Amino acid sequence: MVLQVYEMTNQAITGYKLYDEGVQVATLEQRSNQWIAGIFYNFKIKTMTTDNFQSAYHWIESTLQESKSA
């Protein structure tokens, strides 16, 4: 998976687009000290919120793996 920065605030990265094989599959954004992960899954948008960037990233990875094995 490839992360691409698309948003910065006060020299800090606050938004990423995530690509899998060249296709955008998710976004990861920081709002009010929370990371919000969003992914297009089974024709729906699933989201989760956490204080931890790595937790949000791993949630996206596991959700993508789940969708590929289904």
State pLDDT tens for residues 9-61: 988 999 999 998 899 999 999 999 999 999 987 788 999 999 999 999 999 99
Domain of 10 in residue numbering reads as 2-69
pTM for the full model?
A: 0.85
Reported as a pLDDT band with limits 50, 70 and 90, residue 70 is low
Count up the domains in the chain and report the number.
Answer: 1
Q: What is the CATH number of the domain that holds 58?
A: 3.30.720
- Sign of the Cα torsion 64, 59, 57, 36 reads positive
Question: CA 66 → CA 21, 32, 59, 60, 61, distances in Å?
Answer: 16, 29, 10, 10, 9
Confidence of residue 65 (pLDDT cuts 50, 70, 90): confident
